[in-house]
Amino acid sequence: MTIIEIKITGMTCEHCAQSVQKALNSLAGVNASVSYEQAYARVEMQDGVNSRQLLQAIEQAGYGAVLSNPEVSLQISENDDKLHIAIVGTGSGAFAAAIKAVENGARVTIIEGAEVIGGTCVNIGCVPSKIFIRGAHIAHLQAHHAVVGIPLNTPTIDRRAMLAQQQHWVDKLRYAKYESILQSNPGITLLRGMAKFKDKSTLIITKNDGTEQEITADRILLSTGASASVPDIPGLPDTPFWTSTEALTAEAIPKHLIVLGASVVALELAQAFCHLGSEVTILARSGLLSKEDPAIGSALKAIFEEEGIRVMLNAAVKAVSYEGEQFKIQTDKEEIRGNQLLVATGRSPNTATLALEKAGIKTDKHGHIIIDDHMCTNIDNIYAAGDCTNQPQFVYVAAAAGTRAARNMTGEDVAIDLSVLPTVVFTDPQVASVGLTEQQAKAQGMVAESRTLALDNVPRALANMDTRGFIKLVAEKDSGRILGCQVLAHEGGEIIQSAALAIGNQMTTTDLAAQLFPYLTMVEGLKLTAQTFHKDVKQLSCCAG
C-alpha cells in the first residue's frame, strides 16, 4: 500500500470535494479522502495502481491535479527497466527534452529548485516582456500616430492593471505549456529541490526542508538556464537597482529611468518605459547592439533620441549610490541622477551550484557548460541545453537543443545546425538579423557586396506612414549567393524568417528578386532589396516583378 497526496485546483465548495472523492474511490484499489479547505486529496493505493490514473480521474471530474509528493511516484518506479533520464531544470529546453525522451521510451525525472516551473521565458522573460512591450507600444501609438482624423491622446497608465493582466497570461501559459504536461504525461516525474553532482551518474537533491535524496540516472541533461549578471561597480550592490525581473513586475512607472546596458533587454525595456511616460537615459559601454551591423546601432540611436531617450555612448560607469530616493551614477563624463536604475548588462549561466567538478564537466571561463553539436558535454552520459551552455541564448535554440539531446540520449544520432539563426530585438522598429553581416563576411575572407534599401521605397511602409529603418542584404559578389540580412523595420521579426529560408536554401539575389511577394506587405521589401543588386527600384511601378 502506498500513500500519496494530490493538490487539487478548481474546487469552489464542499460538493466539489465530494465529487472528486467519489471519482477517486471509483478506481479499484483506491481509498481517498478529499479536503476542500486544504485543496488536496490523501490517497491510499494498492500496488498496481498508477498515479496517472488518479490524476486522470480528477481531471475527468473537471478539476486540476498535481502530485504533492512526486518523489513517491519516483520510488514506485525505481525498479522500472526503462532508460532513466534525469533533467535538471524545467524551462523550454528541459521540457522539450522530457517530452521527446518519453516518446522515445525513456522515463524522466525532472528536477526543479525554484517555486514555479517553466524557467525564464514564460515566467520572467519572453512572455511577460512582450506583453509589457505590447502595452507600451499601444500607449505610444495613442499619442504619436500619424493618421489624420483620429485625435491624439496621451493615456493615463494604470500599471497595476497592466501587471495583473500580464501575470494572468504568464500563469495561463505556464499551466498550458508546462504544468499541464506534468499532469498528462505519466512518464515525467517532478522532483522539487536543488541538484548537484555526487558523481557522473548520481545527483544529490536538497529539498526545501533540508533533507537530501540521491537520484541515479542512465543519462543526465542539464538545462538550468541563466540569470541576470550584475557588473562589479563600486556602490551598486548597496542600492535598490532593478534587473529585468524587477522591472517587469514593478507596480509603478519611474519618473526617470537610467538604463545600464545597450543590448537586447536593455533597449527593449528602455523604449517600453519611455513609451509609458518615463524619462529614460541609456548608458552604453560602447554602441547600441554592438554585435549587430554598425548601421543598426546608429539608426536605432537616432530613432530613440527622436522619441526623447537620451543615449550616452562609450560611457564608463565609475560608481553608483542611492540617496534620498535618487540614484547617482558617476560616469567618466558626468554624473547622472534618476529615481530608478535598471541594470541589463547580460546574463550568466546558472551552473555554480551544480558541483560540476564532481562529474568532471568542462565549462568556459564564464561558467557556460561546453557542449558539441549533439549537446553532449565532455562526459559521455551528460548532456546540456539552453542558456547554461555555450550555445546562443535564445529560447527556440534551447527547445531545439533539448529535443535533439533527448533523441541522442535515447539512441539516435542528430546534430543541431545553428548556421542559419534568425534573431529579433523587439524595439520599435524591430531589429532582425540572420547570417553574416558585411563585416563578418569580409573577415572570413569572402568577397562580399551589399545593398541597403531605405523603407521609403517599400509601399507598405509608406502606407503605414512609418518609414523608419532599412533592409540590408549581403551577398557573395561573384555568385550572388545571399549570405546575410539585417533589418530595422516595423515587423522586422516577421520579415527575417523569409531571409533565413533564402539563405538556408542557398538562394541568390536573382532567385529572391524573382519570387512572388504579396502586396502590400513589409516582407516585399526583401524582394525590392534583392532587385537593387540589378536595377534601380525607384524606376519600377508598384508590384513590379
Q: What are the pLDDT digits (tens) for 156-188? A: 999 999 999 999 999 999 999 999 999 889 999
pLDDT at position 80 over 60: no
Q: Do residues 249 and 243 lie in contact, with contact meaning Cβ atoms separated by under 8 Å?
A: no
- Asked if 281 and 310 count as a contact pair (C-beta separation under 8 A), the reply is yes
pLDDT higher than threshold 60 for residue 146:
yes
Catalytic residue among 1, 126, 376, 409: 126
Rounded CA gap, 436 and 485, in Å? 7
Is residue 542 part of the annotated active site? The answer reads: yes
Instruction: State mean pLDDT over 1-15.
Output: 84
Q: Which of 1, 36, 40, 121 is catalytic?
A: 121
Residue 376 catalytic? no
Residue 53: which pLDDT band, with cuts at 50, 70 and 90?
Answer: confident
H-type alpha helices, 438-491: 438-443, 459-464
Q: What is the pLDDT of residue 51?
A: 76
Class at the top of the CATH hierarchy for domain 71-228+346-418: alpha beta
Q: Is the CB of residue 61 less than 8 Å from the CB of residue 80?
A: no
- 47-61, 140-154, 242-256: lowest mean pLDDT where? 47-61
Residue 354: its pLDDT value, please?
Answer: 98
The superfamily CATH assigns to domain 423-539 is FAD/NAD-linked reductase, C-terminal dimerisation domain (3.30.390.30)
Residue 74 pLDDT: 46
How far is it between the farthest Cα atoms of the chain?
Answer: 82
pLDDT at position 7 is 87
Query: What is the number of other CB atoms lying within 10 angstroms of the CB of residue 166?
Result: 21
> Which stretch of 17-31, 262-276, 430-444 has the lowest confidence by average pLDDT?
17-31
Res. 433 pLDDT band, cuts 50 70 90? very high
* Choice among 194, 446, 465, 543 that is catalytic: 543
Residue 472 has pLDDT above 70, yes or no: yes
Distance CA 376, CA 219 (A): 11
Phi, then psi, of 21 in degrees rounded to 5: -60, -40
Let me know if the fold of 71-228+346-418 is the same as that of 423-539: no
Give the active site residue among 16, 162, 274, 446: 16
What average pLDDT score do residues 66-76 get? 57
The full 3-state SS of 335-400, as one line of letters, equals: EEEECEEEECCCEEECCCCCCHHHCCCCECCCCCECCCCCCECCCCCEEECCCCECCCCCHHHHHH
Q: List pLDDT tens digits, range 190-216.
A: 999 999 999 999 999 999 888 999 999
pLDDT for res 281? 98
Catalytic residue among 11, 376, 507, 522: 11
* Whole-number Å distance between alpha carbons of 309 and 278: 9
State the pairing for strand pair 279-283/310-312. Answer: parallel
> Is 32 strand, coil or helix?
strand
d(CA 22, CA 480): 70
Q: Which of 40, 63, 178, 383 is catalytic?
A: 63
Q: Is 11 a catalytic residue?
A: yes
Q: Provide the residue ranges of all domains of the chain, joining segments of one domain with +.
A: 1-68, 71-228+346-418, 236-345, 423-539
Per-residue pLDDT band for 466 (boundaries 50, 70, 90) equals: very high
| Integer Rg of the chain from CA | 27
Cβ-in-10-Å burial (0-12, 13-18, 19+) of 64 comes to middle
Does the structure show a pLDDT above 50 at 76? no
User: 1-68, what's its fold?
Assistant: Alpha-Beta Plaits (3.30.70)
Catalytic residue among 40, 274, 446, 542: 542
User: DSSP character for 120?
Assistant: H
Is pLDDT at 535 greater than 60 in this prediction?
yes
Q: Which long-range contacts (CB under 8 A, 24 or more apart) does 407-411 make?
A: 407/100, 407/104, 408/374, 408/375, 408/376, 408/383, 409/83, 409/85, 409/97, 409/101, 409/106, 409/219, 409/221, 409/383, 410/83, 410/85, 410/100, 410/101, 410/104, 410/105, 410/106, 411/104
Question: Which overall architecture, per CATH, does domain 236-345 show?
Answer: 3-Layer(bba) Sandwich (3.50)
Grid cell locating 307:
522619441
**CA dihedral in degrees (58, 64, 68, 74; nearest 10)?**
70
pLDDT of 537 higher than 80:
no
Of the candidate ranges 16-30, 187-201, 307-321, the one whose mean pLDDT is the lowest: 16-30
